[in-house]
Structure 1
Amino acid sequence: MESSGPSAERGPGQAAAEQALRRARLALPGALPELAALLEAADPRWLLRSAELGELAAALSGLGAPPRREQHGPEPRGRDPALGAAAERAERAGALFLLLLQKLEAAGSRQRAGPLLRRVMAHAFVFAVTHKERRPWSTAGSRAVARELLERLLQAAGCASVEEFLQGKEGDEEGGFGAVMGLLKQELTKDTWKCNPASREVFSWALLRVRRPWLCPHLGQVLPPALLLSDDFQEENKVLGVRCLHHIVLHVPGADLCQFNRAQVVFHALYNHLYSREAPLIQAVLLCLLDLLPVLERWQRHQGQGRGATSPWDQVLQLLLTHMEAEHRLALRRVYAGTLPAFVTRLGILIVRHLKRLERVILGYLEVSDGPEEKARLGILETLQCTIEHAWPRMPCRLPVLLKALLRLLWDVHTERGPTPEPVRAALLHRATQCLILLDHCSQGQVKVLLEGVYSSCQETRVRECLRKVQEST
């Protein structure tokens, strides 16, 4: 192994190397001492020229991978002994990865950029990300080795950050994300993505660090795995998949996202999740839709379709209001109310299509306190304010109902003796007062007239102060 000439390829050292690699590819723990001896004896220049360099990196990565399981098998419960053995093996494999990078640096690997060396570094990256965080298949030792390996990898690649390593420097140089996705490709298919429990972690961790414009060339590689994750039956995977889809929507140009009907596919996947009853998933889906729907809208206009009565905005808001009207879980009510103002603002004057149901939702949510932080009622008051601003011509006919609900809210907030903090009470009173002022403006002063008797007879200082602000508004 010490010779770097052509004859070395036919010598006994080469045969020993091939035997060690064969044993390593079978993930045999006994291969680690042989690989250590192989790396210690190898000339760095030989490593750079060796066709087996990629196989060596792949073998080390395989030895450090968590145990594979059946695609549709049950999740392991408790501390699996196989995971502990894998973590111990990963710690030793990580030390060999560090030695390999040290050898490559000694050989002048910074003058690299070859596809073989990129693949080696991609293997090291996948290994490091697999073990750097607290996971069932990692230990304190394997995490420490993985973090050191990631730092050494960035140093060997001449990169200041993980983002630079994945995206490339100065725009000309190809980053490592394509090579990483090439390694993960076979692990992220419909039939294999659950066999390796670390594959989705590496994929999502790397994806969320590649931004515009570097992500667009890899769209065909990253969109299918993100859709697979979002379509799983486990909520954790669904949320992770939606987060990945949201990142793709944010960092891929709309024109590319709409090619081959991709944006429509993402929309249908997200729309189906709106029937879920889990608040974290609904939160992730609604935030993603708020960024995806403008892309679909622009594409429809470009195609000459316009924004008709069945636009995606209307579909989503109609379903959202239907669920909100019957929802009793406070966690979901907070999520719905927190995102509703953005939908009203996006629709603008077209919110008049949904005013009847929206009014029922607003009245229902103003009546019910949702805890100390009052997130649902604060969100609904913001929704009402946005609705008045955008659909003010339709507000005077709704004045009696809305005025009654807002006055009742002022009284309830003032008289309730619950655990609501004082700043939250002040925020509720302020937003309710702003809604009253807006209603007065769009009704040409009718609110002032209706409140004259209430203001003169009210003895509660805080409620009276809110009414005074309405009376003095111009």
Structure 2
Amino acid sequence: MKPVKMIDTFVKFEECINNCLLCRLSKPYLEEDSLPEFQVRKNKLKQYFPQLMLLLENVDFRQEPEIASSTLYSLLILYLELKCIGPWNTEDVQSEDYSGIMNRTFKAKYNIELDELLHEDDFFDAQEVFDKCIKELHQKMTIDDFRKYPGLIEVYCMLISNVKKCKVINPVTVLPVALLLVDDFTVSNKVKGLKCCDMIFQCLQPNDFSMGNYYEVIHRSLKNAMVEKDIEVTQHLFKCFPDFLNILHVEVQKSKLDDVFASILDQLLTETNLYRKAECFDFTTKIIEMHGIHCVKKNIFKDIVCDNLDVCCTEGVYEILVEHVLKCLLTWIRHCWCTWKLNADQKILSALLKLLYVANDETNTLQIQNLIVTLIHLCTKEEQKEILSNLETMPKCVKEDFIHKIDTIKQHVYSNLI
């Protein structure tokens, strides 16, 4: 193809694709909005989509690599936008099956589905297609405008779902939109952003942060999201955050773990929703597993555990929270046992005994007994004897099943003293 004709063909492709894409909205999109631009887009599709399909049928990308390189990524963005679910793709638009027509037309010519463009090289470089898509999306979805491109947000999420098949050399090239979504005030965008972050983190290595301190930007966004009370956001954040911390260099990771541990303890101090509190305890358990002995610096942890063991004695709370609190305490003991002192920490032992009294299931009863025995074993021999003496002098009115529970504890402690 002659240069002039080639340029003309490329311009026609760009004109058709740009007119088929949902334009930049006049105002930020909120869920369930029905905006005039949606109707305009519907009308433009009727006008420009047939022209685009005609071009796709008549131009052979295998013979025109320059046009392919400049057009394939735009085609993929349009295909994914037409494929996604949202009010901008009205019922009329969906009924036309534009994405299906695009895919069938492309496959008929190249024996490749548009969904497979990122999977392997053919007459195109799959990595180049991915990189150009991401670059294009980041150029449009700036901090001021990303809410005005609801369709492209969905396209970004679909592209990131394929990120494992691509190379992410520099996090700065793929993460900005995800972090904009995490920082957004809407729950739906936060969830989308956190899901994307997690998929990207799983493709990164510590040396990917060797250039600059972009990890600080990521850490700030994730940490700020910790105050969001929505349970779905909480769940995705607590899955995502450890994956991020795991790819930091050791010296950076330690300071960030300090910061995250302090932040999650703040959440545990103030959280009133029992289900979210359970998620917070599970996340705290993960952080203790990662941070180990360094968690001893926060004495407030023991107060939090003690208070929540006490709360778990209430019917209704026990069923929701007790497993999570016990697992967290067990993890703390495994890593920080050397700091246990009976004179300072006996309130935890007292809270566990109180909880043992109301425990009504075998699994948690055994867990509580094991924790009590472990903590007693961490005491001096004299302290263990004193505890046993106190356990011998229980009131006669105590329930018989509780006496059996205590007898089991005493047997384990006695065997350790012999």
Aligned AA (1:439):
L
* 1:135 and 2:86 matched: yes
Shift of 1:189: 2.0
Deviation at 1:299, TM superposition (A): 4.9
Query: Following superposition of structure 1 onto structure 2, how do residues 343-382 of structure 1 map, counting pairs within 5 Å?
Result: 343-354=287-298, 356-369=299-312, 374-382=319-327
**1:196 and 2:141 equivalent?**
no
- SS of alignment partner, residue 150 of structure 2: coil
Q: Which amino acid aligns with 2:67?
A: L
AA in 2 matched with 1:432? I
Question: Which structure 1 segments of 5+ residues have no match?
Answer: 10-48, 302-306, 415-424
Q: Which residue of 1 aligns with 2:282?
A: 338
Distance 1:156 1:336 in 2: 53
| Preserved CA contact (<8 Å) 1:91 1:145 | no
Structure 1 residue 347: Cα displacement: 1.6
The structure-2 alpha-carbon separation of the partners of 1:85 and 1:357, relative to structure 1 and needing over 3 Å to count, comes to same
Q: Residues 172 and 214 of structure 2 are in contact (CA less than 8 Å); yes or no, is this contact kept in structure 1?
A: no
The SS at the match of 1:126 is helix
Q: Higher mean Cα deviation, 231-240 or 371-380? A: 371-380
Higher mean C-alpha deviation, range 122-131 or range 398-407: 398-407
Counterpart residue type for residue 120 of structure 1 = T
With over 3 angstroms needed to count, the CA separation of the structure-2 counterparts of 1:77 and 1:140, relative to structure 1, is: closer
Equivalent of residue 251 in structure 1, options 203, 211, 235:
203
Q: Using the alignment, how far apart are the partners of 1:376 and 1:389 within structure 2?
A: 21
Tell me which residue corresponds to 1:319. 263
2:15 aligned partner: 59
Matched residue, 1:70? 26
Shift of 1:210: 0.8
SS in 1 for 2:117: helix
Counterparts in 2 of 1:186 and 1:391: CA distance versus 1, 3 Å: closer
Amino acid across the alignment from 1:132: K
Helix, strand or coil for the counterpart of 1:216? coil
Q: Distance in 2 between matches of 1:157 and 1:238?
A: 38
User: What residue ranges of structure 2 are gaps of 5+ in the alignment?
Assistant: none
Residues 154, 161 of structure 1: 8 Å contact kept: yes
Matched, 1:230 2:185: no
TM-score by length of 2: 0.80
Please name the residue that 2:139 is paired with: 186
CA distance in 1, matches of 2:358, 2:256: 38
Give the percent of matched residue pairs that are identical in Structure 1 and Structure 2: 19
Query: 3-state DSSP class of the match of 1:437?
Result: helix
2:161 to 194, 208, 211: 208
1:118–1:179 CA contact under 8 A, matched in 2:
no
Deviations 1:389-441 (A, max 9, x none): 11112224255322221222233342xxxxxxxxxx45433432332232244
- In the alignment, structure 1 residue 120 sits paired with structure 2 residue 71: yes
Question: How many pairs were matched up?
Answer: 402
Q: Is 1:242 aligned to 2:194, yes or no?
A: yes
Q: What does residue 358 of structure 2 align with?
A: 412
Is the 1:91–1:142 Cα contact (8 Å) retained in structure 2? no
User: Residue 439 of structure 1: which of 375, 378, 390 is its match?
Assistant: 375
TM-score by length of 1: 0.71
Name 1:221's counterpart in structure 2.
173
CA distance in 1, matches of 2:240, 2:117: 27
1:288 matched to which residue of 2?
240
Give how far 1:294 is off: 3.7
Please state how far the C-alpha of 1:287 moved relative to its aligned partner.
3.2
The 2-side partners of 1:56 and 1:377 are apart by: 64
* Superposed displacement of residue 340, structure 1: 0.8
Which segment is superposed worse, 150-159 or 135-144? 150-159
| Compared CA separation, residues 293 and 53, structure 1 to 2 (3 A) | same
Deviations 1:190-236 (A, max 9, x none): 3332332212211122023212761225x332233223333333333
Shift of 1:150: 4.5
Query: What CA deviation, in whole Å up to 9, does each residue of 1:249-304 have, x standing for no partner?
Result: 32122212242111122112222333444443344334333222344442549xxx
Contact residue 340 and residue 383 of structure 1 kept, 8 A: yes
| 2:339 is the alignment partner of 1:386 | no
Relative distance call for 1:6 and 1:191 in structure 2 (3 A) is same
Q: Provide the rounded CA distance (Å) in 2 between the counterparts of 1:262 and 1:328.
A: 34
